[in-house]
Amino acid sequence: MEDTSGSGEPVPPVQKTAKQLEKEAKKKEKMEKFKQKQEKQKQTTQVAQPSEQKQPKEKKPDVLRYEVKTQVGEKKDVSTFPQAYSPEYVEAAWYQWWEHQGFFKPEYNHPNLKEKNPKGQFVMVIPPPNVTGSLHLGHALTNTVEDSIARWHRMRGKTTLWVPGCDHAGIATQVVVEKKLWREKQLSRHDIGREAFVQEVWKWKNEKGDRIYHQLRRMGSSFDWSRTCFTMDEKSCRAVTEAFVRLHEDGTIYRSTRLVNWSCTLKSAISDIEVDKVEVNGRTLLTVPGYKEKVEVGVLVEFAYPVEGGEGEVVVATTRIETMLGDTAVAVHPNDERYKHLHGKYVIHPFCNGRRLPIVCDDFVDMAFGTGAVKITPGHDHNDYEVGKRHDLPFLTIINDDGRICGDCGTFTGMPRFEARKAVLAALKDKGLFRNVRENPMIVPICSRSKDIVEPLIKPQWYVKCDEMAQKAIAAVRDGELRLIPEMYVKTWNYWMENIRDWCISRQLWWGHRIPAYFITFSDPSLPSGERTDENYWVSGRSETDAMEKAVKQFQVSPEKIHLEQDPDVLDTWFSAALFPFSVMGWPEKTEDLAVFYPGNLLETGYDILFFWVARMVFFGQKLMKKLPFKDVYLHTIVRDAHGRKMSKSLGNVIDPLDVICGITLEQLYKQLEESGNLDEKEIAKAKEGQKQDYPNGIPECGTDALRFALCAYLTPGRDINLDVLRVQGYRFFCNKLWNATKFAVSCLGDKFIPSLSPQLPEGASRIDRWILSRLTAAVEAVNRGFENYEFPPITMACYNFWLYELCDVYLEAIKPCFRDGSEDTQERCRQVLYTCLETGLRLISPLMPYVSEELWQRLPRRANDGTPSICVASYPDSNECIWKAEDLDRDMELVQKVIKVIRSARSDYNLIHKIKADVFLKTEDQATRETLESFQDVITTLAYCKKVALDHDTPSGCVILTVSDKLQVYLHLEGLIDKKKELEKIKEKQQKLEAQKGKLEETMKKSDYEVQVPEDIRSANSEKLNQLKGEIEKLAEAFRNLELMP
């Protein structure tokens, strides 16, 4: 909508003779001199004022706040309609009312859950965020998408349940609390013991956990909070224990000694998702916890093993030279002619008491890489582990849990592994066995929690057998029982499932679900004792009593002779997360929620945890419930910063959604970094520099609705989101447009307006009335289609285009003369159409923008038969309600809008302000075109700021000719409105300025190192700017030509 009220533009003089114009100019000049004199006097007065008044503080405009005393849970007072849109004002009080009224509960309007809702039901669980801190913009995306979908289903009348919760996040939470404990008390967890440490974690969780729920509420997330679940609460613990015991009893869970990802800092196995694969291009020094000096990576060391019997040597290469202490063989390819004479022979280890290492043949060796000979360390390398199994090699552990060298390693025993790295290299040189060192691009596995370099270690752990469950998961997708959206992820799904390995679920932590497995020992020395690696001496149980009964039965020994020791380890966090879709419903108890709400309809999450979480929920759902946990899996992309970088606290680009919603200064962003407690001084300095670059003026207040709308608008399948936080502000302006449009429309409706009983096309509706209802119908169809297909950009585009470009910019402007000069019947017709557009349009946008839509909807009158208390439970617009689509009318209006655009563009080129009206003459020989233009003649007159619009009329001199199409020309009469000579000079001056900008930009882009030195986002912006300049120059050239042709 064009906002013409209070525009601040001076009223133009009535067109007069040259003499009168000259007189006006002199008068204006005198007024300007008078103003300058006044300004000078004002400055003199200021100088004479007392010193404290010399530099008055700049007074910032007050933020509009909702200050009506409203009890928590009471409905907001909307009796006043503020002049300006304020997110803080709009978002106040509504959420507490929604929650208090129970709108988000599935029982709302459907109290008997066992009774089937004919409109269906929709069930979804939150991907539970880690309890370790606050949410970031990635969480905001997840919850915006999920909430929009949940609200859409709820407004369609379905019984809707969206379950909230938090994950205990074993490793992440333990690390945070350990740091806090050391920072505040200089104590480690071992200093205070397991029980006291776990209590510290619970204390921290109870203090910090509510912040996440506060953020979710501020985001407008429509959860049923009465069903909130924490993955360490009593209900979840019962489910985890039951699942472990059942799966152990049927052999799905078993104990085995294998190679795992080990964090020496955490002293725990970690999952693959907790391993960051850091690429280095060559020699690199990394900071590693526990080492004063940085550790060298990215080099390949070549050294020689002497062949037994003095038959030469075999040169091998490694990036981890310290692991040669654990070598138990050298492998060559069986077809490699260079080593065929050594098949079956041995090399001698130079340090470990002359250990003999067999030369084995294996097809996995790449003959073309390096020397074609590979050292084999089965106890500390994943590939070598498999080779060791194939050739029945010894598995030596030469690095212990602390990361120190252990075992029969001579003088190296007891050294920290990376000090041993330097010592082994020096010893090889002393023995003359060192051959070469060269840079080597490689991937270094880093623990995401401790920043330690991950060490592969052989450990006895608990595993979940995955092969059979993986095949069922593949079949579910193949047979259409489980739908992955977008479909491009099916290939990834199948690849993972076909190459799956058994899942290690043990973690050597204190915070988490302690494994309900017990090691059996006997007090009777006559009974055989077992090793902890022997699974026969382990039993699982729902309680220690249950486990004792199993032990008695298994060994046929009286309980007095049996001692049970529970495994001190805890389960991988993903184990409890895999049970989430049914544990939140009360499983293993046969609850009403489980019967009614399992399985769910949708699982929505980021594609990065497709395997780690989604697949495992599918595994356990099929295994324990005999049903898939959901029918659809919608995978959204990852939120990155405006430069395409991954969100990282050390880069300073991890943004709290509340900081975008409420706004924050740069100084406050700095303070958050300093108080986080997770970054060292160098990381804080680096993060501050990043924030200063991206947010020199802080982050402006954007509001929840703008943030939600922006995130949905950015969401394109298969492409990560490079989110420029400042662009969110653009959607705040969109909210402002909604506010102004509704406020204007409400004033047009008046206090006595009564809407019709149902949305309908009023009798005698004009073509513009029918057109806007057609566009409303098209928007409704597009939005519903988008929600059905999980396609969000078409949803936001349809809403944005309807409200901004069709309702505000066209319809509201077109009907202003109706309310100014029209008859009462005409005005009533416009009011009914306007009301239908407003009320339906607000319901349409409500799932995306819940606050501003509620605020504005509550200010509209209700239809007589509509007692709906809130927009969030109102019926969603659909094709049964909106039946006004008229494609022929849409096509006609497209032509009209082209005409209007051509006229307005020309007016802009010739600097005509809105209040200067020009005569327009339309020339066409096509009858259909003529009829269309005649039917919209008044619309063209209003929207193109015309004095009059005439069709096929004799055109006077002094017109510029504008071409709309081969069938239509526009004659814009400018004689007496502009000074042709001056306007030509202005255009030429502007052309020269733009040509200079274009030339400078092209010169920059032609530089030889441009593609290498300039970041991609800046190159993209430059290309866009160059195209824009070319377009503007071409447009000015056309305006110049047209004006030159004018008599």
| 722-735 average pLDDT score | 89
The structural domains of the chain, with segments of one domain joined by +, span 90-233+575-645, 299-440, 516-566, 711-885, 890-978, 981-1045
Question: Cα–Cα distance between 501 and 515 in angstroms, integer?
Answer: 21
Q: Binning pLDDT at 50, 70 and 90, where does residue 31 land?
A: low
What percent of the chain shows pLDDT beyond 90? 68
Model confidence at 55: pLDDT above 80: no
Which of these, 188, 85, 63, lies nearest to 706 by C-alpha position?
A: 85
Q: Binning pLDDT at 50, 70 and 90, where does residue 4 land?
A: very low
Report the SS3 class of residue 219.
coil
| Chain position carrying tokens 């973690």 | 507
Return the ∠ at Cα 560 (arms to 557 and 563), rounded to 5°: 85
CB 166 within 8 A of CB 129: yes
- The reported pLDDT for the residue numbered 54 is 35
- The reported pLDDT for the residue numbered 6 is 34
- The reported pLDDT for the residue numbered 589 is 96
Q: What is the CATH number of domain 90-233+575-645?
A: 3.40.50.620
Question: Cα–Cα distance between 1017 and 1021 in angstroms, integer?
Answer: 6
Among 16-25, 262-271, 299-308, 699-708, where is mean pLDDT lowest?
A: 16-25
- The reported pLDDT for the residue numbered 2 is 37
- The reported pLDDT for the residue numbered 677 is 66
CA 975 to chain centre: 56
DSSP string, 935-1004: HTHHHHHHHTTEEEEEESPPPPSSEEEEEEETTEEEEEE-TTTS-HHHHHHHHHHHHHHHHHHHHHHHHH
Question: Cα–Cα distance between 420 and 402 in angstroms, integer?
Answer: 14
In SS3 terms, 716-747 reads as ECCECEEECHHHHHHHHHHHHHHHHHHHHHHH
Model confidence at 7: pLDDT above 50: no
DSSP string, 70-96: --TTSPPP-SS--SS--HHHHTSSHHH
Mean per-residue pLDDT over the chain, rounded:
89
- The reported pLDDT for the residue numbered 724 is 84
Q: Which token pair is 577?
A: 């997360």
Report the SS3 class of residue 258.
strand
Q: Which of 39-53, 705-719, 834-848, 913-927 ranks highest by mean pLDDT?
A: 834-848
Q: Binning pLDDT at 50, 70 and 90, where does residue 239 land?
A: very high
Q: Binning pLDDT at 50, 70 and 90, where does residue 62 land?
A: low
CB 643 within 8 A of CB 632: no
Model confidence at 46: pLDDT above 90: no
Strand 346-348's sheet: what is its strand order? 346-348, 356-361, 329-332, 373-376
- The reported pLDDT for the residue numbered 1 is 42
- The reported pLDDT for the residue numbered 901 is 94
Q: Binning pLDDT at 50, 70 and 90, where does residue 207 land?
A: confident
CA 5 to chain centre: 39
Q: Binning pLDDT at 50, 70 and 90, where does residue 754 land?
A: very high
- The reported pLDDT for the residue numbered 731 is 95
pLDDT tens readout for residues 453-476? 999 999 999 999 999 999 999 999
Among 101-105, 143-147, 1019-1023, where is mean pLDDT lowest?
A: 1019-1023
Residue 1017 CB contacts under 8 Å (≥ 6 apart), including other chains: 642, 643, 644, 722
pLDDT tens readout for residues 579-614? 999 999 999 999 999 999 999 999 999 998 899 899
Question: Cα–Cα distance between 24 and 372 in angstroms, integer?
Answer: 94
| 969-983 average pLDDT score | 84
Which of these, 1003, 991, 1002, 1046, lies nearest to 1025 by C-alpha position?
A: 1002
- The reported pLDDT for the residue numbered 36 is 47
Q: 711-885: what fold?
A: Isoleucyl-tRNA Synthetase; Domain 1 (1.10.730)
Q: Binning pLDDT at 50, 70 and 90, where does residue 1018 land?
A: confident
For helices 767-788 and 792-800, what crossing angle results, to 10°? 160
CA 420 to chain centre: 43
Radius of gyration over every alpha carbon of the chain, rounded to an integer in angstroms: 37
Local structure of residue 805 (DSSP, 8 states): I
Plot region of 663 (φ>0 → left; ψ -120 to 50 → alpha; else → beta): left
Report the SS3 class of residue 539.
strand
Question: Cα–Cα distance between 966 and 952 in angstroms, integer?
Answer: 15
Residue 56 has phi, psi (to 5 degrees) of -60, 145
- The CATH class, in words, for 299-440 is alpha beta
Model confidence at 417: pLDDT above 90: yes
Among 514-518, 626-630, 746-750, 851-855, where is mean pLDDT lowest?
A: 746-750
Plot region of 1014 (φ>0 → left; ψ -120 to 50 → alpha; else → beta): beta
pLDDT tens readout for residues 888-899? 999 999 999 999
- The reported pLDDT for the residue numbered 56 is 36
